[in-house]
Amino acid sequence: MPHASQEPRLPSPRGPVSASVGEYVLGTGPLPRDDYVAGAAVYGDDLQLALYLCYELHYRGFAGVAPDLEWDPDLLRTRAALEHRFLAVLRADTTVHDSVEEALGEILVEPVDGTGVSHYLRDEGELWQLREYAAQRSLYHLKEADPHAWVLPRLWGRAKAAMAAVEFDEYGGGRPDRIHARLFAGLMTDLGLDTRYGRYLDAASAEVLATVNLMSLFGLHRSLRGALVGHFAAVETTSSPGSRRLAEAMRRTGAGPAAEFFYDEHVEADAVHEQVVRHDVIGGLLAEEPHLAADVAFGVDATGHLEDRFAARLLADWRAGRSSLRTPLASSPRPPVNAPAGPPADHRNPL
């Protein structure tokens, strides 16, 4: 078993489904009733947290939870029921383009007057908002590239070689100090955040949980390998311009050199990755399995759908002057001059 410090603690439940899943993995209660699973809001906190708990057993697990539960048949049946509801609603809510070229073409065009999260943070974001953004994104970035690695055994030939090359870069090109998850930990340190894996799971919104769950859903199912490739292509295609804006936001607020470097690194690296993924990973996959084109397009479009929901949540909260987290952060120990470290005090409940 890994050292205890590598395993996050189980988060607090957010409803009957996540409560039952948490109790089951600790051996203190049964799995959730079928009617609870069927009645939980698909994009809501309870279902998304329950699904996250199931998936996390395939990564680092949780303190006090037996590693063998990763393949517990009863838990897998519950996970399958949660996945079925999540995937069905995603397919119903996502407008899928007719072709991969159309799906990618839409996100390749940068809007003249951008209104996304990275635009907001670049132009007017405050330090406390950058800290919240990093805390939420840490659920993925502290295991960056891990969900996508699941697809490697399900590819072959040109697609496999290209995907492995991109993943090699994500893992630091053989240098542990350049692993992107470690670079993100440096960013978090600059922002006065706790770098422990899973530290901000309790604070994270349902919207960001859904974006991480999507990667695990696609990655853990061979039947969804095309969707995982589409998801990866969407991430790499939008990363470079977004990272450039976020690097500017870090510089403007004086967040720190490691915070700037993380996004500066992604501007260059992901511009290259985007070309490799589009031409060699997708191109190689569809040359071998052209019937997966619709799945690739779905992966691209479903990623955009969930990212749009997350962005809407962040911007609505921040423009109202309130925290986007379930439990707002404590003040940074090292706020730059003239950069507020947290939301207005009447919204504060330090984590």
Question: Rounded CA gap, 61 and 69, in Å?
Answer: 9
- Residue pair 301/94 in contact by the 8 Å Cβ criterion: yes
Residue 107 CB partners (closer than 8 Å, separation 6+) = 234, 237, 238, 300, 304
Token code pair at residue 4: 């205890």
Q: Band of the pLDDT at 88, cuts 50, 70, 90?
A: very high
Which pLDDT score is estimated for 112? Answer: 56
Q: Which of 154, 142, 119, 160 is nearest to 314 (CA)?
A: 119
CB 66 within 8 A of CB 60: no
Is the pLDDT confidence value at 106 over 90? Answer: no
Residue 192: pLDDT over 80:
yes
pLDDT at res. 2? 38
Question: What is the residue-averaged pLDDT of the chain?
Answer: 91
Section 25-30 average pLDDT:
97
For residue 347, the model assigns a pLDDT of 39
**What per-residue confidence (pLDDT) applies to 4?**
39
Please answer whether residues 191 and 131 qualify as being in contact, where contact means their C-beta atoms are separated by less than 8 angstroms. yes
**pTM, whole model, 2 decimals?**
0.92
> First CA to last CA across the chain, in angstroms?
29
Q: What distance in Å separates the CA atoms of residue 206 and residue 78, rounded to the nearest whole number? A: 19
Return d(Cα 190, Cα 333) in angstroms, integer: 10
Helix axes 16-26, 73-93, angle to 10 degrees: 150
φ/ψ (deg, to 5) at 197: -60, 130
pLDDT band at 270 (very low <50, low <70, confident <90, very high): low
Burial track 246-272 (b if 16+ CB lie within 10 A, e otherwise): bbbbbbbbbbbebbbbbbbbbbebbbe
Q: How many CB atoms lie within 10 A of CB 4?
A: 9
Does 24 score more than 60 pLDDT?
A: yes
**177 phi and psi, to 5 degrees?**
-75, -10
The CATH number assigned to the domain with range 100-347 reads 1.20.910.10
**What tens digit of pLDDT does each residue of 136-177 get?**
999 999 999 999 999 999 999 999 999 999 999 999 999 999
Domain boundaries, the chain: 4-93, 100-347
Above 80 in pLDDT, residue 282?
Answer: yes
Lowest mean pLDDT among 42-46, 60-64, 238-242: 238-242
In the prediction, which pLDDT does 351 show?
44
Can you state the percent helix, strand and coil of the chain, rounding each to 5? 70, 0, 30
The total number of residues written for the chain in this structure: 351
Give the Cβ contact number of residue 107 at 10 Å: 16
Do the Cβ atoms of 60 and 1 come closer than 8 Å?
Answer: no
Instruction: Tell me the two tokens of residue 168.
Output: 């090699």
The pLDDT tens digits for 111-144 are: 656 789 999 999 999 999 999 999 999 999 999 9
The radius of gyration of the chain from alpha carbons, rounded to an integer in Å, stands at 20
User: What integer pLDDT is reported at residue 104 of this predicted model?
Assistant: 86
Confidence of residue 94 (pLDDT cuts 50, 70, 90): very high
